[in-house]
Each structure stands twice: as C-alpha cells, then as structure tokens.
Amino acid sequence: MWSAITAALALLGALVGFGWWASAEVAAGASPWTYAAAFVLGYAALVLALTLTFFALAWVWRSPRPHDARIGPAGTARLLWNEYAALLGASPRMILYRLLVPDDPATRSPAPVLLVHGVLCNAGVWTSMRRRLAAAGAGPLYAISYGPPLASIERFAGQLAAKIDAILAQTGARDVALVTHSMGGLVLRAYLRRYGPAKVRQAIMIGAPHRGSVHARLFPGVSLAQLRPGNAWLAALNAEPLPPGLPIVSIWSWHDSMVAPQLSSRLEGARDVELSGIGHNALLTDPEVARLVVEELRRQASA
C-alpha cells in the first residue's frame, strides 16, 4: 500500500505541476499534444537516467566475471533495453498492484506459492512472473506487500509470518513455497531465523543481496541500512546457518544492475543458478527466469 501511494502521489504531483506550467502555453495557443508528448518523454528520460545510473554503479563495483559470462555489444544492448523496459513500467504496476497481482481465491491445496517483493516495491513487480507461473499451473498463487518501505527487515519478517499463516489456513496446506526477489530474500531469511522452517516447503530467491549492495548507500531508511555491505544486522544474519534440509536455490545474474558486487547473491548452503545478461528488475520479466522458477517448483512437488 505504501509503495503504491508513494508512486501515485509522485506521478500525480509531477502531472499537476507540469500541467500547471503547460496550461499557460496551451492557453496562448500552443498544441496540448506537444506538452502531453513532452510529459511522456520526460518520464521516459527520467527512467533512462536512473537505469544508466544504476548500471554505472553496478559496473564500478562489479564482481570479476568469468569469460563465459561476458555478453558482448549486442548482449549489452539487450541487457540495457530489457532493464529499462522493466523499470519503465514499474510505477504503473505498483500503483495498480491490487488489480494486477491478486491472490488466488481461497481453495484447498497442498502447494500454495507466495511471492515476496524487494525493497521500495510492492506486489506489482510480480505482474509478469505471476502470469507465467499461473500459465504453468503453479499455485494457488499469493503475494505480499509489506511495509512501510523504510522500516526494519525484522518488521517485514513478522508481516511475512502473518501472511504465511493466513495462506495455510485458507488452503489447508502444511507449508508454502516462497519465491522472493531482491530484499525479499533477506526478509525470508529473517523469517527463518525467527520462526524456523516448519511452514516453508522451499525457497527460491531471485537476485537477493545476501551480503548487501553498494546501491543501498543511496537511500535512507532502516531496511536500506540493513542492505549496506558490512553492516552489523547483515553480518549477524549471515553468521546463522541455513535450516538443514530446506531446499533453497539462489537465482542471480552476473549483470545485476542493483546488486553490486554481484557475487553478493551467492548464498552458502544454497544451490546457485548463475545467469548472464539480465538486469536486476528484468529478472522478474525474463522468460528464462520464470522457466527456472517453474522448474524448481515442479522439482520439489515431485520430490
């Protein structure tokens, strides 16, 4: 809710401010379509500037890449475009998250799946992934939108516990599979540390900054401070071993644009799936990542 309101207010404020300025020009005879196009182009330019800034930081603080992870000029162009496209639609998806990413109707099922978003976001970021998971027959599917965004990850873990309990009550299942993105992986790990793994069937973490990211230094807030490399909260979390016997996989990209250094996504005790040529937000819109998630869900269902 908080992220949706923030995104909506920011977009509305920009629209009102721009409209107030443009109205005088239109009243003087200028074409309103010119200013409508300028607003759209301005939004697109702002998203492009953010995309390039995030990639620049990720490149400066990048992990040394193996030779087979290098993607060349054409791959770099696809990398930039796909990440830009993912970020371009982020605000509308977060504003409309209740419509785009609804929970499935309550039904008895042994295999519910819960989607857990990352920092400064809400369930809207799962729009593309949810559609692909539903088409593959996964679920029933649920998503959480925790907050407020700048609160502690420990607070988010408590909200995750309440959501898991609600899903188990609705479905009659013994446990739930969790698919997380970015900081959502740390929210899940904080949950496991506090509540244990009894209600978790498996954990699929996508682009999680297990050892932090330098990008977190750009933003205020408790949760962002907990994402900064070397902080005490993260060190304590990483000192805890993962629950034995719980299937955990970490899917990540050598070209992640918001987790830097990228090797931060490696998690000791988990099975790593390394990808190349995919940015941080594009991990949630990439068909190969969705295929891997479906494969992991089916693997555990048949175990």
**Range of lowest pLDDT (35-49, 95-109, 283-297):** 35-49
If you write DSSP's letter for every residue of the chain in order, what string do you get? -HHHHHHHHHHHHHHHHHHHHHHHHHHTT--HHHHHHHHHHHHHHHHHHHHHHHHHHHHHTPPPPPGGG--HHHHHHHHHHHHHHHHHTHHHHHHTHHHHSPPPPP---S--EEEE--TT--GGGGHHHHHHHHHTT--SEEEE----TTS-HHHHHHHHHHHHHHHHHHH--S-EEEEEETTHHHHHHHHHHHH-STTEEEEEEES--TT--GGGGGS-SHHHHTTSTT-HHHHHHHHSPPPTT--EEEEEETT-SSSSSGGGG--TTSEEEEE-S--TGGGGT-HHHHHHHHHHHHHHHT-
Place of tokens 């719980």: 246
Q: What integer pLDDT is reported at residue 14 of this predicted model?
A: 46
Q: Given this model, what pLDDT does residue 176 score?
A: 97
Instruction: Tell me which amino acid residue 91 is.
Output: S
For helices 184-195 and 232-239, the axis angle rounded to 10 degrees is 60
Are residues 259 and 207 in contact, defined by beta-carbon separation less than 8 angstroms? yes
Let me know: does 252 contact 284? Beta carbons within 8 Å.
no
Q: How confident is the model at residue 300 (pLDDT cuts 50, 70, 90)?
A: confident
Q: Which of 18-22, 145-149, 204-208, 227-231 has the lowest mean pLDDT?
A: 18-22
Predicted pLDDT at 302: 66
Name the more confident of 147 and 16.
147
| pLDDT tens readout for residues 43-57 | 788 889 999 999 999
Using 50, 70 and 90 to split pLDDT, how confident is the model at 201? very high
164-168, 218-222, 257-261, 262-266: segment of lowest average pLDDT: 218-222
Higher pLDDT, 28 or 77: 77
Mean pLDDT along residues 12-20: 47
Domain extents in the chain: 1-303
pLDDT (average), residues 75-95: 91
State if pTM tops 0.85: yes
How far is C-alpha 165 from the geometric centre of its chain's CA atoms? 22
| Percent of the chain surpassing pLDDT 70 | 86
The model's confidence at residue 224, banded by pLDDT at 50, 70 and 90, is very high
Which CATH number is 1-303 given? 3.40.50.1820
Torsion of CA 242, 195, 183, 126, to 10 degrees: 110
